[in-house]
Amino acid sequence: MRVAMNVNGEEVGAEVEPRMLLVHFLRDELGLTGTHWGCDTSNCGTCVVWMDGEPVKSCTVLAAMASGRDVRTVEGLEQGTQLDPVQEGFMQEHGLQCGFCTPGMMMTARWLLDHNPDPSEAEIREAISGQICRCTGYENIVRAIRWAAAHQPAKEVAS
């Protein structure tokens, strides 16, 4: 079947089997390997992307279900050559060790900060509670998100 969607602002489409999962569509059809494929069981959260503005686990969404929708992956965080404050935060606070969970963590973090610009530690931990860091580097992930919260780019003010 034909699926077509907007991924990181670009219209894309492909002929796929209905059973193809969104994570495989992104990685194998589009070559967007920033989204990682982990547990396959919606537990680990490394495959988190946004669909119509909300974080979802792309191992448990069919590519067909995303057809006609807006998808944002970790490749869509960077604006031009400017890293997102969340990406910067993960660098500054050493928010990753092996890096496997990082794309999902960052997508959830971006969503959290968009809806709650100054989250408490408890709110951050709740937000990422569906995501597993097997290096157990949660302390630094929380610090990275706090860093991003403290370094949000100035919002553009309409003149």
Partner 1 sequence: MQTPAPFEYEHASSVDEALALLERHGPETRLVAGGHSLLPMMKLRLARPERLVDVNDLTDLAYVRREGDQIAIGALTRHAQLASSPLLASLYPIFQDAERVIADPVVRNRGTIGGSLCQGDPAEDLSAVVATLGGSLKIRSRTGERVVAARDFYLGPYETQVGPAEMVTEVVIPIRPGAGSAYEKVERRPGDWAIAAVGCFLTVSGGVIADCGIGLAAVGAPGLPALEAEAALRGRPAGEEAYAAAAQMAAAHCRPQTDQRGPAEYKRDLVAELTRRALRRAAARVMAGGA
Q: Which residues bind to partner 1, rule: CB under 8 A?
A: 1, 17-19, 21, 40-43, 45, 48, 54-57, 60-62, 64-65, 108, 126-127, 129-131
Find the shortest distance in angstroms from Cβ 79 to partner 1.
Answer: 24
Closest among 64, 66, 75, 46 to 133, alpha carbons compared: 46
Locate 37 and state its tokens. 């494929």
Closest to partner 1 by CB, 51 or 83: 51
Find the shortest distance in angstroms from Cβ 122 to partner 1.
Answer: 13
Closest to partner 1 by CB, 19 or 155: 19
- Helices 102-115 and 85-92: crossing angle, nearest 10°? 120
Find the shortest distance in angstroms from Cβ 35 to partner 1.
Answer: 14
Yes or no: say if 3 and 26 are a contact pair by the CB < 8 Å rule.
Answer: no
What is the sign of the dihedral through the CA atoms of 20, 22, 23 and 28? positive
Closest to partner 1 by CB, 28 or 75: 28
Residues present in the chain in total: 159
Closest to partner 1 by CB, 52 or 82: 52
Find the shortest distance in angstroms from Cβ 106 to partner 1.
Answer: 13
Find the shortest distance in angstroms from Cβ 127 to partner 1.
Answer: 6
The Cα–Cα gap between 134 and 137 comes to 8
The Cα–Cα gap between 26 and 48 comes to 12
Closest to partner 1 by CB, 18 or 153: 18
